[in-house]
Amino acid sequence: MPVFLLPDFIADLQDHNDANFARRVLQKTIKPDGSFRIDSDDHPYEGIDGAWIRYVSRQATAYRVIFLRKGENIYLFRAGEHSVENHLSKPGEGTIKAAVPVQEGDTEVSALTATIAAQQQLGTATPVISRFKRNIPPSQIHREIFSRRNLPHKDIWLITPSVDEELFAPTKSFGKLLLEQAEDGASVVIITAPPKNMNIEWMEKLAERNIGIYLYPQLNSKLYCFIFDNNRRYETGLLESEKYSSLILVGSSDLTAVGMAMGDQSFNEELCYSAPENEVSFVEDYVAELMLNSYELPDVRRLLARGQWQKLESRK
């Protein structure tokens, strides 16, 4: 069976801090000739059609691989601890098109997998990871955002002038992420510019689920912050808890499908910067200032009802 590596699978191998992880995963899934290794213990992954779970190890590490069967092709989708199974969404067609084929004699893939495996087997130092995050290919920005899914957060601040309303639907992966975080106790705030179409229905639905909505005139800042809850660092089930920190992502991406690589269409070329956690106090002050000078949803409802939407174009 032909094997293809999806972008998130490659990133999982590169980012894992177990010195033997990549080698064990590759040996358990791919034969030396590049074909798929069959395992009778594979079983279906519920929630995604054609998805299967492969046990790489059991007991303490409990490593898993999630892969997709599409006809005769195998797509290696995700790899990690048992928690990698949680809250996965079906990869879009854009992700499938970005898959890298594994073929006997394919020097590019062979070099990639051999380098990862060799580095981790030898226990070499983790390479320096750039704080600059690009969108394609594969989207590092998308990965940074969705890597926060299963972590406890104190605050989540999303600041952007432009949004795709449909991304916030509870059936969409991003909307689901936000709602689950709010239900888990995170204070979630969205600060955006007044929408030109004057549609606030999606905002009302989010407000009903305890997500704060603020409209700031002439906003052009783009800032995405996931503040890790240190009081919950040692909760049961949070593996390797010492390595987690907050995410402060600032840069060019809007909260749109093309800006965050969240759809099947072509994505924008974007560049964001992941600021160090010691900048969080500045960011907290900045967010507080924006909230203080923004229009809250009750103000927006009142101005809309009075036909005074244009007032939202001026600062308070």
Q: What is the pLDDT, as a whole number, of residue 315?
A: 83
pLDDT mean for each 10 residues of the chain (316 residues): 86 79 87 85 92 87 90 92 84 80 55 52 51 82 89 96 94 94 97 95 96 96 96 80 88 93 83 92 96 95 94 86
Query: Based on the domain organization, do 258 and 165 belong to the same domain?
Result: yes
Q: Domain ends where: 66, 92, 122?
A: 122
Residue 27 is predicted with a pLDDT of: 85
Indicate whether 146 and 251 sit together in one domain: yes
Domain shared by 86 and 162, yes or no: no
Domain extent at residue 233: 140-313
Same domain, 11 and 38: yes
Sheet order of strands, 51-55 included: 43-44, 51-55, 64-70, 73-80, 3-5, 100-102
pLDDT of residue 113: 55
Candidates 75, 111, 109; CA nearest to 93 is: 75
Asked whether residue 180 is domain-assigned, the answer is yes
Please tell me the predicted confidence (pLDDT) of residue 256. 94
- Domain end, chosen from 122, 156, 190, is at 122
Question: Residue 266: CB partners within 8 Å, gap ≥ 6?
Answer: 94, 258
Q: Are residues 110 and 154 in the same domain?
A: no
Domain total of the chain: 2
pLDDT of residue 116: 53
- 316: amino acid identity, one letter: K
